[in-house]
Amino acid sequence: MNRNPIVPFILIMVFGIGLMFFLSFKGLGDSKDLANEAEGGEKPKTEEVASNPEDLYKSAGCIGCHGDAYQGVSGPSLVGIGKSKDEIKEILLNGLPGGMPAGLVQGEQADVMAEWITTLK
């Protein structure tokens, strides 16, 4: 049975045209935000805040280095860390050279997160 060799090219063409239309409409929708940002305006904030420290731990990417059970993978274990709440908050806000990035947790969330880390056992 011989297959028609033109069918895959037609499917790719239809997919490409559909993708062009989709991306064009997406760009039109974002044009006001981009114009506002280019004029020095603030970018609209749409980020949701995690409701508890454990959700924040998962959403901020901490789980990648400290593990799903806080056991430590490429970063240190968080269980029984032996640091004060203020020391932990300082690390969360400013990071550590050669490892922990700064700014993963901000402001009030850093207080809540530091308090939560001190209670891990």
- Is 119 within 8 Å of 70 (Cβ atoms)? no
13 known member of a binding site:
no
1 is in an annotated binding site: no
N-term to C-term CA, the chain: 67
Query: Rounded CA gap, 77 and 67, in Å?
Result: 8
Is 66 annotated in a binding site? The answer is: yes
Q: Please indicate if the annotation marks 62 as binding a ligand.
A: yes
Q: Which residues participate in the annotated binding site for heme c?
A: 62, 65-66, 100
Q: Which residues participate in the annotated binding site?
A: 62, 65-66, 100
